[in-house]
Amino acid sequence: MSEKTINRNFIPAIVWSNALLPILAEGHLLRLPIEGLSMYPLLVGRRDEVLLADVKGKKLRRGDIVLYVRQDGTHVLHRIHHVDLNNYYMFGDAQTWIEGPINEDNVLGVAISVIRKGKAIECNSFGYRFISQIWMVMRPARPLILKIIDRIPIIVKILNIILRPIHSK
């Protein structure tokens, strides 16, 4: 797809979010593809999707994944680090810094499921919350952990070469 085609078909987030928020408010869900790397490794861009619900009437808490809009109009899908009165502090799973305060009025939706390879993972399931909470606590060590994760394919290849059986003729 050429750059001209992408630009011609591109709909700014502010336009689609204004059109979809009333639909979410009616109780419908929005399936949103993930783009970018800020939520890696728990969410992978161009592989995973999230199922978003309206935030009205929900008590959001640490670890919830939310779609919010920054003051500059950028729409972001990140995890809640902590809540302070009517403000949220967010961060991506691949990040170590915390962004905020984000006013509750800027939070547009909350992920209720992650869709990975066609299968739904409930965001409130014990297993998913457990893994995400562990990952949140490991925030200071994330850069090192991500470097190790990125090198795993190389390590596996090296081990396969070293451990490959020697074929005799």
Mean pLDDT split into 10-residue runs, the chain, 169 residues = 50 74 90 91 90 93 95 91 94 94 95 92 92 92 86 69 49
Is 37 domain-assigned?
yes
Q: In one letter, which amino acid is 13?
A: A
Whole-number pLDDT of residue 48:
92
Full DSSP string of 50-100: EEEE--TT----TT-EEEEE-TTS-EEEEEEEEEETTEEEEE-TT--S-EE
| Amino acid 121: pLDDT | 92
The pLDDT score that the predictor gives to residue 3 is: 45
Report if residue 7 sits inside a domain: no
Give the structural domain span for 31: 13-163
Q: What is the CATH number of the domain that holds 39?
A: 2.10.109.10
- What pLDDT score does 155 carry? 66
The answer as to whether 130 is a domain residue is yes
Per-residue confidence (pLDDT) for residue 153, from 0 to 100: 76
Span between the terminal Cα atoms of the chain, in Å: 50
Tokens standing for residue 12: 């700014």
157 within some domain: yes
Identify whether 5 is part of a domain. no
Q: Provide the number of structural domains found in the chain.
A: 1
